[in-house]
Amino acid sequence: MTTKTKFDHDTFPGENYTILTPVPIEDVFGFFGTMKGMVGEEMAKQLWDLASLTVSTVFYEDDPAVVRNFLRSRYGRHLADSVSFFAKPEEYGDFDVMHSAVMDAILDSYKSGQNTGKSVWTRRFNEIKDVTEKGEWIDP
C-alpha cells in the first residue's frame, strides 16, 4: 500500500486549503501576466485559481493577500515560466495538460534539490509574506 503525501496529484491541493485570491487581470507581470501571454486570459484565470490553491497548500498559508502577492512577484513569474518545461506550446490550449503542468512546475520548484530547493522557495515565500504582513508590499 502506498502512503499518500501532500504532493500526490490525486490528493493535492489539501482539503484544508480552499483559498482563492482575486485574479489580477491588470497584471502583465507575475504568474497571471506570464500565463496570459502563453494561454490567453480565460485559461490563465483558471490556472491562477489552481496556482493559488497549490501555493497556499504547499506553504500552509491561509492569507489570500500573501498568496496573491507571491504569485504577482517575480517568483510567480518564475513559476509560470517553469510551466513551459512541463507542456509544449502546441499543448497550451489543453486545460488538462496545463493543469498538470502548473502543478508540476510549482511542486518541482518547491522540491528541487531536496533540502536546498525547499529552503530557497520557502525563503522566497517568507520574504513576500513578511513584506505583505508589514503592509510594505508594492505592486510590480
- Global confidence as pTM: 0.78
Kindly list the distances between the CA atom of residue 105 and the CA atoms of 24, 85, 108, 110, in Å, as whole numbers in the listed order: 20, 8, 5, 8
Nearest to 45 by CA among 28, 23, 62: 23
Domain residue limits, the chain: 30-133
Specify the amino acid at residue 136. E
- 73 DSSP 8-state letter: S
Is residue 98 within 8 A of residue 54, CB to CB? The reply is no
Q: What is the pLDDT of residue 36?
A: 92
Is residue 79 within 8 A of residue 51, CB to CB? The reply is yes
Nearest to 48 by CA among 61, 60, 59, 64: 64
Query: What is the Cα–Cα distance from 128 to 126, expressed in whole angstroms?
Result: 5
Q: What is the pLDDT of residue 28?
A: 78
79-123 pLDDT, tens digit each? 899 888 898 889 888 988 988 988 888 888 777 654 555 677 888
